[in-house]
């Protein structure tokens, strides 16, 4: 199956592109996708430690099974809103 | 309900006008502003990035939560992305409510939920470097976190 992985903010700078189309084995999970990405982009794994995965624009989990055409984004701790920290 | 991610300057007075309603006795706006300092460093400017499709969807979700809790539907939440100069608004929340207590509570709730779940990131650019900032209020799975603060 084919999935799309999009990257934003720090992750985009590490990967060097906005999105990747990846061919995965059937039964792949978010965790196995992250494992594969971490092998190809070693710095990505560390950045994704505190990240929340999303599948098709909803917060998901590492154990979630992926399906053909899914869009996956790893969300590092967000820092939008006001700037009063 | 206005839920928007934009690269343009946010027109707060226009949003206040948009949410006003004859039955609403309280109208308020909150602006999140790009500050010139962070942890003792001088900030030159900020760069915001977003996952825009999901961010607008999450703003609508927050709006629905507010409608369910307080019955407030005259609501605008706009987050700006791209490069922001110091003193420019990154976020504006504007709403109209029948009474002030609900209005202030809903505005605070919107802000805390935005800081907890909205897929938007801030990069600080200083005189000698830059960094994507990790938010300390990130709580994507805790629906009640915002109310407890």
Domains of chain A: 2-75 (3.10.20.30)
Q: Which CATH architecture has domain B2-148?
A: Alpha-Beta Complex (3.90)
Please give the residue of chain B at the shortest CA–CA distance from A51: B138
Predicted confidence (pLDDT) per residue in B86-111, tens digit: 999 999 999 999 999 999 999 999 99
Q: Do A82 and B141 touch (CB under 8 A)?
A: no
What is the interface pTM, i.e. ipTM, of the complex?
A: 0.92
Q: Do B54 and A54 touch (CB under 8 A)?
A: yes
Q: Do B133 and A75 touch (CB under 8 A)?
A: no
SS3 call for B24 = coil
* pLDDT at position B3: 98
Using the Cβ of A27 and the Cβ atoms of chain B, whether some distance falls under 8 Å is answered with: no
Q: Which of B123, B33, B44, B100 is CA-nearest to residue A79?
A: B123
Does the pLDDT at position B67 exceed 60?
A: yes
SS3 call for A24 = coil
Domain positions in chain B are: 2-148
**What band does A41 get if pLDDT is binned at 50, 70 and 90?**
very high
Which is more confidently placed, B44 or A81? B44
Does the pLDDT at position B20 exceed 90?
A: yes
Alpha-carbon distance of B147 to B2, in angstroms, equals 22
Alpha-carbon distance of B100 to A69, in angstroms, equals 46
Output DSSP code: residue B10: P
A78 CB neighbours in chain B (<8 A) are 115-121, 135, 138
Report how far apart, in Å, the C-alpha atoms of B56 and of each of A23, A26, A44, B1, B71 are: 29, 31, 26, 12, 20
Closest to A59 (Cβ–Cβ): which among B30, B115, B141? B141
């Amino acid at each position: 199956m084919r999935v799309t992985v999009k990257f934003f903010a720090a992750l985009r700078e590490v990967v060097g592109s906005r999105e990747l189309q990846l061919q995965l084995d059937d039964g792949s999970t978010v965790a196995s996708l992250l494992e594969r990405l971490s092998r190809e982009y070693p710095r990505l794994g560390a950045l994704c430690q505190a990240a929340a995965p999303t599948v098709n624009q909803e917060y998901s989990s590492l154990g979630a099974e992926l399906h053909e055409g899914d869009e996956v984004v790893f969300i590092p701790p967000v820092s939008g809103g006001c700037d009063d920290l | 309900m206005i839920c928007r991610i934009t690269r343009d300057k946010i027109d707060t007075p226009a949003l206040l006008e948009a949410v006003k309603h004859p039955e609403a006795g309280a109208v308020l706006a909150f602006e999140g502003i790009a500050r010139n300092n962070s942890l003792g460093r001088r900030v030159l400017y900020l760069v915001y990035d977003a996952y825009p499709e999901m961010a607008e969807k999450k703003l609508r979700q927050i709006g629905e939560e507010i409608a369910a809790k307080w019955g407030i539907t005259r609501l605008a939440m706009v987050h700006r992305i791209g490069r922001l100069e110091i003193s420019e608004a990154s976020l504006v929340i504007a709403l109209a409510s029948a009474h002030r207590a609900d209005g202030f509570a809903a505005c605070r709730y919107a802000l805390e939920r935005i800081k907890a779940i909205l897929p938007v990131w801030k990069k600080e650019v200083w005189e000698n470097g830059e960094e994507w900032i990790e938010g300390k209020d990130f709580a994507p799975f805790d629906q009640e976190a915002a109310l407890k603060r």
